[in-house]
Amino acid sequence: MTTSGLFISFEGIDGAGKSTHIDGLAQAFRAQGRAVTLTREPGGTPLAEKLRTLVLNDPMDAMTEALLVFAARRDHLLTVIEPALSRGEVVLCDRFTDATFAYQGAGRGFNLQMLMILEHWVQALPALGEHFIRQPDLTVWFDLPAEIAAQRLAGARVPDKFESQPVEFFKRVSSGYLARMSGEPERFARINAENTREGVWLDVFNAIKTRGWLG
Ligand code: TYD
């Protein structure tokens, strides 16, 4: 089993039910003696959490949103993710760049070429190689039809800017995730999030186990 750093991101539309499974995986890795950094985007550092509050609550155009989430990502990558990976830890990150392609790109219609440029710029780590771009080792995508996610979210809490978007928005976000997965299928584990909680957990656990990362 690997003892080098491991970077796993978790994605899906709002209401897809990522959180309990991320916590479950953290426990499973810790039970096997691995140090785990549990973090999220936008956020994960004091500066990035401030940017998160702005992005989730203040109206702004899609480009401003994209620039803010990438600024938050740069700070998070340099001060939390990279140090944890170099200590050999497992980094479990609730959302990463695929969310930007899905929400700002597919959801809000921001230029995908521009997002690709930002991705390569922000995630470049020349100290690790001239062309090295940090990407998750695995992205667990909780795939749930937008109508079902909307039912799950209804009345759950006061919705933020994204959670209050119509079903059509989340259909576009899902298609954005599908497009990202199609471009890099080996990086993704697509989980049917319509399943029972136990069924979803088994699929998530197996996605990690089959890669030899959990016994
Ligand atoms: P989410 O991860 O669902 O956290 P919580 O469970 O606390 O609501 O919320 C983050 C929101 O931010 C979500 O609606 C998706 C959005 N988001 C973007 O629009 N772009 C991004 O790049 C990221 C990382 C998130």
Under 8 Å CB-to-CB from 120, ≥6 apart: which residues?
Answer: 133
pLDDT at 3: 58
Q: Which domains, from first to last, does the chain contain? A: 6-209 (3.40.50.300)
Nearest residue (by CA) to ligand 1, atom 21, is 100
Contact 41, 93 (CB under 8 A): yes
pLDDT digit string, tens, across residues 160-179: 999 999 999 999 999 999 99
- pLDDT(2) > 70: no
Q: Which helix (H) or strand (E) holds 169?
A: helix 167-183
Compute the half-sphere exposure of residue 169: CA atoms within 13 Å on the CB side of its CA. 13
- pLDDT(91) > 60: yes
Beta pairing partners, 141: 11, 190
pLDDT at 215: 86
**Can you tell me which atom of ligand 1 is nearest the CA of 107?**
19
- pLDDT(85) > 50: yes
3-state secondary structure 39-101: EECCCCCHHHHHHHHHHHHCCCCHHHHHHHHHHHHHHHHHHHHHHHHHCCCEEEEECCHHHHH
Q: Whole-angstrom Cα distance, residue 144 to residue 147?
A: 8
- Candidates 112, 128, 43; CA nearest to 77 is 43
pLDDT digit string, tens, across residues 112-151: 999 999 999 999 999 999 999 999 999 999 999 999 999 9
Pocket lining for ligand 1, CB < 6 angstroms: 14, 41-42, 56, 69, 94-95, 99-100, 103-104, 162
pLDDT at 118: 98
pLDDT at 86: 97
**pLDDT band of 111, cuts 50, 70, 90:** very high
Backbone angles phi, psi at 170, to 5 degrees: -70, -25
